Chain A
Amino acid sequence: MSTMNDQKTPSSGDVYSLAEAEDARLIKEDAESLSQGQLIRRRFLHHKAAMVSVGVLVFITVMAFSSIGFAGLPGWWGKTYLDAGTVIDGGRPTLSLIPTWLGGDGIRWGEYPFGQENTGKDYFALVMRGTQKSILIAVIVGAVATCIGAIIGAVAGYFRGWVDSILMRVTDLFIVIPLLVLAAVLGQIAGNLGSSIVYLALVLGLVTWTGLARLVRGEILSLREREFVSAAQSMGSSSGRIIFKHLLPNTIGVIVVNATFAIAGAILLETSLSYLGFGVVAPESSLGLLISEYQNSFTNRPWLFWWPGVIIVAIALSVNFIGDGLRDAFDPRQTQKRSKKRKAKANA
């Protein structure tokens, strides 16, 4: 800028040179300007941990739902999680990943890849069934809790005053409810009614929105003082429009990250419930139930403990990494940092 001014003789037009230079850059850059959605997608696709996690999660989900079938649809795996059979080779898993030239048994899937449990049921089918349940619960709880939390937080933060006071006291009330006890009671009722696990998931969602509501409220309290909100108010926008169009999209980072925590938390909550015997009951299968049932066989038949454990950890971890990647992708302030890096790379 200074060099440009030095070269020119000072004239009245010179005053505009900075502004004009900026406009010229805007025109020049339009060829490669990207929409907001494209930028978010690009940033997310460049996040390695998140992409690996998406792969892992998709793999687990597809395996769980396609192998033994879901909701009446048949799967490609021949055995069901209900049929008992004769126990072969002490129920040892037939899955092998070490090739023969490394001294292993060769890469094979085998008759019972995850082994068999006491009565000869196929453990692979049982674990897949449990994974289905866990994913289902996690998604429902995550969705319900996120919707309720975001809306209550946004309304409280935007209107403030007595609306805020009432909503936040209600939130406090929900926080002090011991979650595990409530879920245990409800799980028991749901079990007695013979109803589906979906109701348990819905109720869990109805009590786990509190953390998100508080976070969103805090965000909105700071966002509502921004001038773009005042501009929308002055032109006569309705409160609902301001909340949903201007405020909530700006809290998407908090919401997404918290939703992933809620999902991971829900999986662990379901696991704990089933482990304690309140959630899913046999002959249904769930990851927590499998762990609790076979915790005693940890020493002699560890695979009965390891498979569901590994899958729980894999789902919870990958969901968290995806949330991390999404938060980075949604952050509008990341734009310049990343693009500078890219430019530096291009120049080098």
Chain B
Amino acid sequence: MTAQATESAATAEQTAPVIELRDLHVHHRARTGKLFKPTTIRAVNGVDFTVRRGETVGIVGESGCGKSTLASVLVGLQEPTSGTRLFHGRELANRGAPRKEFGKAVSIVFQDPATALNPRMTVHDILTDPLQVHGIGTKESRTRTVYELLELVGLPRSAAEVSPTQISGGQRQRVAIARALALDPEVIVADEPTSALDVSVRAQVLNLLSDLKSRLNLGMVFISHDIQTVRYVSDRICVMNFGEIVEEGEAARVFDNPTNGYTRTLLGAAPSLLAAPTTSSEEA
């Protein structure tokens, strides 16, 4: 299993990207503008981005730099203003069967587990919902899938019968991860999945995510403003600032030897308990 995982991670470079964004722009019109001279906010401004199976891409940046907008474009929740989105090399259509296929292959884990699960449904119903949408399996096989998913994220079978209001934040987030895995996706986009969790629960969820990623050979996009977290899980890192990717590269290289001025400032701004400040941040 592990040998297989490392092998696939090694071949990840050669495999074709699942999602590819080319020169992507997302602009919002701000309310403060005038009628004929509207103020536009460039949330995402000319981003090129790829994600393959078996690799974790971390996206870091300060608040409001366009990380979450990029995430919602990646999972098809938002239409880009311009630019191309390629899914397995083909232009992504936003309706009909191709859209469903995309929804099956790419799923999302959100920041706030309190609102990520429908409070009116039991955990069982939450996990079977994706299967029903895509018409997968019978009633019995779906229930079996639910138990498998719960086992995968380390929750007891009894969790299937409770409603999301009866479980803790960490457990909810694991249910959300189970839902993201329900359709056997190729890529998971995790939009700050741990920032609303307790520190101890955070470690558990992070370990779970990186463990699942290598076990299931998932591609993962990990978005966070917590630099240490991103460093812990990512293979490759994109640093975003004002809607643009200012630096991209292998995690270790970006952290130890940042070339961009903004990256240096960002790394220098992060207090670290685990590691002593690196030489690069002192230089900055």
A residues with CB within 8 A of B: 15-19, 22-23, 26-27, 29-30, 33, 35-36, 39, 226-228, 230-238, 241, 245-246, 249-250, 252, 332-333, 335-336
Contact = CB atoms under 8 A, between A and B. Distances in A.
Contact of B77 (A234, A238, A245): A234
A182 B110 CA distance: 50
Nearest to B163: A36
B151 to A, nearest CB: 12
Given A22-B168, A22-B201, 13 more contacts: A15-B204, A16-B203, A18-B170, A22-B171, A23-B155, A26-B171, A27-B156, A36-B120, A228-B117, A231-B176, A235-B107, A249-B120, A336-B165
Interface in B115-170: 115-122, 129-130, 133-134, 154-156, 158-159, 161-163, 165-168, 170
Interface stretch (B96-104, B209-217, B234-242): B96-104
Given A27-B156, A227-B112, A235-B133, A335 B166 contact: yes
Nearest to A230: B77
Given A22-B168, A26-B158, A231 B119 contact: no
Contacts of B119: 250, 332-333
Interface residues of B, number: 51
Nearest to B171: A22
B184 to A, nearest CB: 12
17 contacts: A15-B199, A15-B200, A16-B204, A18-B170, A29-B158, A30-B158, A36-B121, A228-B118, A231-B176, A235-B130, A236-B100, A236-B103, A249-B121, A250-B118, A250-B119, A333-B119, A336-B166
Contact of B103 (A19, A35, A36, A235): A235
Contact of B198 (A18, A228, A238): A18
Interface of B: 72, 75-77, 99-100, 102-104, 106-108, 110-112, 115-122, 129-130, 133-134, 154-156, 158-159, 161-163, 165-168, 170-171, 176, 179-180, 183, 198-201, 203-204
B104 A236 contact: yes
B133 A231 contact: no
Contacts of A236: 99-100, 102-104, 133-134
A33 B99 contact: no
A127 B72 CA distance: 62
B256 to A, nearest CB: 25
A235 B163 CA distance: 21
B167 A26 contact: yes
B36 to A, nearest CB: 22
A36 B120 CA distance: 8
Contacts of A233: 77
A231 to B, nearest CB: 6
B150 to A, nearest CB: 11
A230 B191 CA distance: 12
Choose among A36, A241, A246, A252 the residue with the greatest number of B CB atoms under 10 Å from its CB: A36
Contacts of A22: 167-168, 170-171, 201
Contacts of B166: 33, 335-336
A235 B120 contact: no
B108 A23 contact: no
Given A231-B116, A335-B165, A33 B158 contact: yes
Nearest to A249: B120
A9 B100 CA distance: 51
B167 A35 contact: no
Nearest to A252: B120
Contacts of B170: 18-19, 22
A27 B171 CA distance: 12
A279 B155 CA distance: 61
B76 A234 contact: yes
A75 B204 CA distance: 68
Nearest to B199: A15
A39 B165 CA distance: 12
A22 B199 CA distance: 14
A241 B107 CA distance: 18
A111 B176 CA distance: 68
Contacts of B118: 228, 246, 249-250
Contacts of A18: 170, 198, 200-201
B192 to A, nearest CB: 11
A23 B158 contact: no
Nearest to A235: B103
Contact of A19 (B100, B107, B161, B201): B201
Contacts of A245: 129
Contacts of A232: 129, 133
A230 B120 contact: no
Contact of B133 (A29, A241, A335): A241
Nearest to A25: B168
A17 B130 contact: no
Closest 3 interchain pairs by CB? Answer: A236-B103, A30-B158, A236-B100
